[in-house]
Amino acid sequence: MYIAIYLSSIVLANLSGVYFGANATIINAFLFIGLDLTSRDKLHEAWHKNGLIWKMAVLIAIGSEISYALNRSAGLIAIASFSAFSLAAIVDTLMYQFLQNRPYLVKVNGSNIFSALVDSLLFPTIAFGEFLPMITLGQFVAKVTGGALWAYILGKK
């Protein structure tokens, strides 16, 4: 279930970024990337002793490939997504593991803050070819807020 959530959120965010541009990425960040970051932590729990690194790398690549396959105009967005999610996943993994003995909401939200920062800096800069400070800030706030909401919702399951 979390694999499907993870991939769906990547693809929906990427394709809506292509259709609606940089300003839509803040809404995407709240709805889809917050969900992606939080479902990634659920996968961390399931895979932390069984191929976490390579399985996450494959999922990130598949999400970018699906985005590109569904819309060839998504090429640069898919590259930006792959790059940003790859580095953000490394940061998230390290922080989540560091917070492993903390309560669920602390470790999820704590790791999301750092991975959201990395993703927010890289994605719009690569996808839109320039540093967009207000988009970057908006994305960061939206990802952290959306991630907290999704962590609360998914934590109930």
pLDDT in tens, the chain (157 residues): 899 999 999 999 999 988 888 878 889 899 999 999 899 999 988 998 899 899 999 999 999 999 999 999 889 999 999 999 999 999 999 999 999 999 999 999 999 999 999 999 999 999 989 999 999 999 999 999 999 999 999 886 5
> Which pLDDT belongs to residue 24?
84
CA distance 64 to 61: 5
Total domains in the chain come to: 1
Taking phi over 0 as left and psi of -120 to 50 as alpha, with beta for the rest, 40 belongs to alpha
CA 137 distance to own-chain centroid: 15
Helices (H), 21-132: 24-28, 34-47, 52-70, 75-98, 104-128
Tokens of 3: 């694999």
> Which pLDDT belongs to residue 78?
92
CA angle 53, 58, 60 (to 5 degrees): 95
> Which pLDDT belongs to residue 157?
56
DSSP state of 32: I
- Domain containing 28: what range? 2-155
